[in-house]
Each structure stands twice: as C-alpha cells, then as structure tokens.
Amino acid sequence: MRMHVTQKDIADALGISRVTVTKALKDHPDIAEGTIKRIKDMAKELGYYPNFIASSLSSKRSNLIGAIFPKINHSFFSNAIESVYKAATERGFEILPMISFEDASREIRMVATLLSMRVAGIIVAISQGTKSNEIYKNAKKLGVPVVFLDRTLKDESFSSVTINDYKAAYDVIAYAISIGYKKIAYLAGYSHINIGIDRCNGFKAALEGNGISINPAWIIEGGFTPEFGYEGLKKLSNASEMPELIFAVNDSVAHGIYKAADELSIKIPDDLGVIGCGDIEHSQLLSPPLTSVHMPIESMACKAVEVLIDEINNPGVSECQHLVNETEIRIRESILPEKRSVT
C-alpha cells in the first residue's frame, strides 16, 4: 500500500500529463475550469496532499514562516505561538513552530533546518543561552528576513518587537518605593539578552533616582526559570539581611520564589513582597496572586508577523523596524498596600 500519493499518480489515473496536474492544482489560467475540477476531485479521491517542502524547493518563494520559541509550557510563549499562527494564516502564510527549550545549540540547528526548507522568513525569541547572531546573519545573507520577538541580542541590523524593558522595570520599582518598600532585591536574567540588560538598568535607575543605595549582593543573575527563582530566594535567605521585596525578571522566576518561600515559612506579602514581569495566566492563580508587569504579547506577536511579511514582500527595500510596546502594572496581593520599612 502506497503511503504517499504523488501528482504522477493523479496524472496516471486520468491519463493526462503531470504538468497539467501541477498547473491545475495551482489554479493556473491555462487549464480549463472543468479540467481543474476533474483533477482536484481525483486528488481528493486518491488522498493526495501537496509536498510542501518540495514545492518550496522548486520555487523562489514559499509561504512558510519558521517560528522559534524557547519553551511551550509557558503561557507567555504559548500565547505568542497562537497569536503568530493566527496573524500569519490570516495573511496567507503557514507557520512551522519550533521549540529550543532554552538551548542555544538546538536553536542554531533549528535555524539551519528552516533555511534548508527554504522558509520565507523567521520569527524568533532567542534562548537564554544564545550569545551570537551569526546564524541569523547567515539567514539574512540568504535573503531570509528575521524578526526578533521579546528577546533579542540588541542588534540594530535586525527588526524587533519588544517592550520598553527599562521603563517597565523603572516604573514598577518606583511604584514599590512609593508605597514604602526600600530594601529591594532583583533576581535578574542574563546580561547578554535585552530583557536582562534593560530591566536591570531600569531597576538600578529607580533605586538611585529615589535616593536608595544599590546593594550588589541583592542583584543576582542566573536565568529565566522557576529553578533560578527558587535558588535565588534560598541564597538571599542565608544572607545577613533579607530584602523586603524581590523583583523577578519574569513571572517564571517569581513562581520559583513562591515555592522557596513556602519551604522557608516566609509569608508573602507579610514577610516578603514579590513582583514579576510578564503577567502570565498562572500568576493570577498563585496564593497570593502575583503583582506583575503586563505585556501585550498578542499585539506584539501580530506586529512581528506584519513586520516580517513586509520584509518578505519587499526584499532589500524595507528598513529594519524596532517596535517598542508599553506595559502596565497589574497590582495584586503579593505586595502590601503600604509598607512601613524598619530602619
């Protein structure tokens, strides 16, 4: 039993040429409507599905977009994938999603695979281990545009859709200070990624701008996972002085803080305030619900698709775009409404 029906099978069944079948399946104007219908009916009867990769290789352009994300079991990125897919399909493109699992070498292999499949373009949120844009520069040399979504290496030669990470961190820390928090720690990401650099700079600027000294021991770099948040609080709890509030680089890190706090019998928010960034769905279900910086990921994903398709349709003409989206603070019960610091 044949596992894959080809265009030759359709041609043999109807006693016509393969070229005619190929044209008919593409609704070519050279083929009569009646013939197109007869060929499509036979294709359906035989169970024919087009070989998308082969058609991409035989043409100068495909309608396939590769989308690489660092994880899928994370509502921020799962929402991003859904939004990218919806926006692309509405514009006549298909999406091939891939997950790097925060592995830089895996991410490189994925890009190479997408390039071998002759994708029209790539949308990517880089893994936490990615430190080089070399593979993406190669893609660009091959005429395949790349748009970075949320996470970038701050390379102005590529289009990007991000948030104002500096302002997001600055605003939420300034708010915390305004309600009385003074002893504030930061569990940072990695400093080679935009969200790690800019959020840390915004955090520091908010402290300094409000006359609060920065305690280097309270800024810990180490990633974007719950495990980092868990280990981060364990480390801070062993220090000579505990902070009153921890700002986590993202909500996943904040979730790890919650787990460690429970094991250490630290009550949130009475003993320790916690603020995240990303406002993923599960954060609202924590006990207490997490205060977080809300990011408009659906809108960001749609903009990334629009920018990429513009570059696909206008090769060598479209200039790089750097779209920066604003955020808002979602205040919940993980911080006290008014904190009175003990000096």
DSSP states along 164-231: -HHHHHHHHHHHHHHTT---EEEEE--TTSHHHHHHHHHHHHHHHHTT----GGGEEE--SSHHHHHH
**Edge-to-edge strand ranges of the sheet holding 273-278:** 219-221, 184-188, 245-248, 273-278, 291-294, 328-330
The C-alpha atoms of residue 11 and residue 16 are separated, in whole angstroms, by 5
Sign of the CA dihedral running 207, 210, 215, 218 = negative
Which tokens sit at 90? 């509405």
**pLDDT, tens digit, 9 for 90 and up, residues 13-64:** 999 999 999 889 888 888 999 999 999 999 888 888 776 656 655 555 678 9
Distance of CA 132 to the CA centre of its chain: 17
**pLDDT, tens digit, 9 for 90 and up, residues 108-132:** 999 999 998 889 999 999 998 898 9
**pLDDT, tens digit, 9 for 90 and up, residues 235-258:** 999 988 999 999 999 999 999 999
**pLDDT, tens digit, 9 for 90 and up, residues 151-196:** 998 788 899 999 999 999 999 999 999 999 999 999 998 888 888 8
The torsion angles phi and psi of 134, rounded to 5 degrees, stand at: -55, -45
Residues 306/146, Cβ–Cβ less than 8 Å:
no
Domains and CATH numbers, the chain: 7-50 (1.10.260.40), 61-163+297-325 (3.40.50.2300), 165-295 (3.40.50.2300)
pTM of the model: 0.80
> Quick one: average pLDDT of 134-162?
91
Helix or strand or coil: residue 142?
coil
CA-angle at 99, arms to 274 and 48, nearest 5°: 145
Residues 292/264, Cβ–Cβ less than 8 Å:
no
The C-alpha atoms of residue 146 and residue 140 are separated, in whole angstroms, by 7
